[in-house]
Amino acid sequence: MLELARSLRKNRRLLGDFIVRDLRGRYVGSSMGFFWSVVFPFLNLVIYMFVFSLVLRTRFDDSSSPKQVAL
């Protein structure tokens, strides 16, 4: 494990170049690029919150769960 950490530290510039190359290759044809990979999950979260809280009227509290009886 220690040897892996040393190797990563020694080759951190190469690792950074690989990461940048991978991200550029992945989002090369996209109009919004890397930004979209951050916005899209947040947008999904907002939509799910709207659907479950307003449309389906779901409540996420503990009052509906059955109470345990102590013996």
What tens digit of pLDDT does each residue of 30-60 get? 777 777 777 888 999 999 988 888 877 766 6
Please report the pLDDT score of residue 39 as a whole number.
86
* Spatial separation of the C-alpha atoms in residues 2 and 5, rounded to whole Å: 5
Domain boundaries in the chain?
31-57
* Spatial separation of the C-alpha atoms in residues 21 and 28, rounded to whole Å: 10
CB-based contact 58:52 (threshold 8 Å): yes
pTM, two decimals, is 0.44
Percent of the chain clearing pLDDT 90 (strictly above): 32
